[in-house]
Each structure stands twice: as C-alpha cells, then as structure tokens.
Amino acid sequence: MIVPSGILFDLDGVIYQDGVLIDGAKSTIELLNRAKIPYCFITNSTRRTKAGLVMHIEQMGLKTEESRVFAASHAAVEYCRMKNFKKMLLVVADSEMKKDYCSFDLVDKNPEVVVLGDMGTMFNFELLNRLFLDIMAGCQIVAMHKNRYWIDSGTLKMDLGAFVSALEYASGKKVVITGKPNRNFFMLAARRLGCPPNMVYMVGDDIYADIGGAKSAGMNAVLVKTGKFNENLLSNSKIQPDYVIKSIADLPRIFGII
C-alpha cells in the first residue's frame, strides 16, 4: 500500500468541470481528511483571487480554505517579491486580481515588470505589441503559465501559452513562467505541504503541464481520464505517469484508504 506524504490536485478537469464537481471528488477529499493526508489544490487559473477560488470551489459543494489553494498568480507574487520589483503592470482579465498584488505599485506606464495572465478574447495585436515594446525596452515579462489550451463547455480553446510564445519569438527573449509546468511551481507547492517532492503525488489531467511538471520536480504523478485528457497525447508522449485512472474517484484505491 502506498502512503503519500502529500497530494497535489489540479482543479479544472480533476476536481470539477464546467462548474460542477466531478463524481468522486468530494468523497475522495473527505477520505483524505479522515486519513490526515496533507493535500493542496494547485492551478494555473489566472482569473480569480485566492478568495475567489475558494468561493468557487465551495459553491460547488466542496468545503476548503485559502491555505489549501496555490495558484500560478500566487507564485508570480512570490517571484516578483524575490526580485524586489516595485512598479508593476498587471495584465489580467479580472480587475479583482489586483487585490492579490496590492503590495506592488500597479502602474500603466514604465513598469519594471509586466505580470501577464490569460486575457482570452481580449488578446489582440494592440495588446501583444504593447507587451512586445515593453520587453524590447528592457522590462521583465512574467507569465503566470504557458498552457497550450483549455476546455470550456466541452470546447477546446487556445490558452496563454501561444501568446507567450509569440512574444518570445518576436523579442528573442525568454518570458519567466511561474505556473505549471515550471518545476519551481511544484517545488513551492511541495514546500507548502512540508513534504519531500519524491513523496508527493500530483493528480492532473494535462500530460504536459501537470504530469510533466511534476516529474521534472521529482514527484510521482497520477493522470486522470477526465478534463482535457487525450489518449493520443498520452500514447505519443515521452512523459509517463506512474498511474492512469478513470477519474479522481479511483484515487483512494491507489492509497488503500477506501
């Protein structure tokens, strides 16, 4: 029987899909609580504050707390504090996100750093060119993640990664990525659990961002066949999870906590 020191869960596609809990999510979390196995929800979501994420989860019927949520945007805050950035241009779809960045001087012109989240349909040439000019002027660009795509109401949609790649190609400079699949993001999450990475299990639906990122940090990885799971991607990928399960409902069997 496997006894993990801690478990990291992706949210969208693993815990819930389209605003509804995936079958077995609530019962699995309840079993972990009873077994006193530490866990944390990690996400590349850039459209909600930490409080907003907790509210979103609880509205679906799963009780949690802010200490159990770690998002790419929070890693961006930690990175910018470490670099002692002061003047920041925050490019996010939801102005509520500014609450998580209140310790910085949020400006519209001449920033030291630009922090970029997913803008969805608000991405256009004008915005990308403005960011390109900031990079060329010496400004550091920090992207919250580099996801390729996501699923909304059953439809695939381009994610932030494509626009980050466009900025890198045009400028010839690297954008700092703070969320998945960045190795440091997983290491920070493991540190929050107080667990050595090799005793942590990452549960995700994305073979690249979740499984690949966890493996780069020396973690174990469990791929679920919900959310954005794609059989062809798994078959053709060099990234191999330790376990592949139908959904989060099957996770307790791996750990013998049924």
Per residue in 17-53, pLDDT tens? 989 999 999 999 999 999 999 999 999 888 788 888 9
Q: Which domain holds residue 196?
A: 6-44+180-255
* Residue 67 belongs to a domain: no
* Residue 188 belongs to a domain: yes
Q: Which residues pair with 158 in a beta bridge?
A: 149
Do 125 and 169 share a domain, yes or no? Answer: yes
* Residue 89 belongs to a domain: yes
Do 206 and 116 share a domain, yes or no? Answer: no
Instruction: Give the integer Cα–Cα distance in Å for 114 and 101.
Output: 12
* Residue 52 belongs to a domain: no
Domain boundary among 128, 145, 177: 177
Output the pTM of the full model.
0.84
| Strand blocks (E) in the chain | 6-10, 16-17, 20-21, 39-43, 69-71, 87-91, 105-106, 113-116, 140-143, 149-152, 155-158, 176-177, 200-204, 220-224, 243-245
CATH number at residue 23: 3.40.50.1000
Helix (H, G, I), strand (E, B), or coil: what is residue 33? helix
The tokens for 218 are 């020396």
* Residue 55 belongs to a domain: no
Our count of domains for the chain comes to: 2
- What pLDDT, in 10s, does the model give residues 199-241? 999 999 999 999 999 999 999 999 999 999 989 989 999 999 9
Q: Tell me the longest C-alpha to C-alpha distance in the chain.
A: 57
Min mean pLDDT across 65-69, 93-97, 209-213 is at 93-97
* Residue 159 belongs to a domain: yes
Give the pLDDT confidence score for residue 112 in this predicted structure. 95
Domain boundary among 160, 177, 194: 177
Domain boundary among 177, 198, 229: 177
Do 172 and 88 share a domain, yes or no? Answer: yes
* Residue 58 belongs to a domain: no
Do 22 and 88 share a domain, yes or no? Answer: no
* Residue 53 belongs to a domain: no
Do 169 and 92 share a domain, yes or no? Answer: yes
Mean of the per-residue pLDDT values of the chain: 92
